[in-house]
Structure 1
């Protein structure tokens, strides 16, 4: 299991990009650029969580709040740390923070054939839609995205409710 979960910010862009480079296959067109990440981090209602093993960043989650819904924009775990509960820990942290901010559900979009679907479904996400041809990969192929939703309960007493 991971050693620590922590908040992140714009100063962590190097860690974000290092994890993303390892975690996302460029053939699928899912990774973001540094500029896209920095642009999102500058917006209100956005927060970033990291998973670390010692001094090594092994995963992150980038999320935002929009009124009473939260969106998990990016979730990445380096390949050699997958299958150890890190993705689930980041999802759980994201849901707790979202609940503390008043969100009633957590949304995400994921490639229809992404192996991470098992993690999302195990966490309680259910499919609510499909976007045909959403991802444009470096291989010239387009792939569908599934829109998933996780109902969350608002708990103002949650210790993470004050996290950004």
Structure 2
């Protein structure tokens, strides 16, 4: 993948997509930070009410996904990942905007997320209107046991 990505499809995902979601996470998340979920965690989350998965594809290949849940007028972006080869081509922004649009369609007033301190994704979240609202010390546990802080962000949707 070179040049500008022409995103051809954003589609609703489901349990049938979890093998590819796991592959994307394996490529996208550096294991030293402990951010990736297992397939079992993703499947368990998908079985809950108010949870949705969006898959981004380009030229027939899944290049990213976002997982979110809504409950009681609020929503949380649980995971967002893009394959390294598809980064900086608008995939993550398109996925995030799809999550925002679906959350709004579900009547959500505020969308939350948390991200590892120092993660480059913070630029995207700020550009899309999210503001830092908190911090979780030592939230992530890396592969070698090291701890990493998480920052919480929120965006009003109404």
Shorter-normalised TM range: over 0.9
Using structure 1 for the length normalisation, give the TM-score.
0.92
Q: 2:35 aligns with which of 25, 30, 39?
A: 30
**1:137-156 to 2 correspondence within 5 Å?**
137-153=142-158
1:84 to 46, 65, 89: 89
Partner of 2:74: 69
Corresponding residue for residue 3 of structure 2: none
Q: Paired residue for 1:120? A: 125
**How far apart in 2 are the matches of 1:108 and 1:116?**
11
Indicate yes or no: 2:9 matched with 1:4. yes
Unaligned runs of 5+ in 1: 154-164
Q: Match of 2:24? A: 19
- Equivalent pairs counted in the alignment come to 153
Runs of 4+ deviating beyond 2 Å: none
Could you tell me which of 95, 99, 116 is aligned with 1:111?
116
Displacement of 1:139: 2.2
Whole-Å Cα distance in 1 between the matches of residues 121 and 140 of structure 2?
A: 16
CA distance in structure 2 between the partners assigned to 1:17 and 1:114 by the alignment: 20
Q: Secondary structure at the match of 2:43?
A: helix
CA displacement 1:71-117 (0-9 Å, x = unmatched): 00000011111101111111100001001111011100000110111
- Tell me the CA shift for residue 25 of structure 1: 0.5
Distance 1:118 1:80 in 2: 19
Q: TM-score, normalised by structure 2?
A: 0.95
Once residues 140 and 39 of structure 1 are traced to their aligned partners in structure 2, the CA distance between those partners, rounded to angstroms, is 25
In structure 2, stretches of 5+ residues that fail to align are 1-5
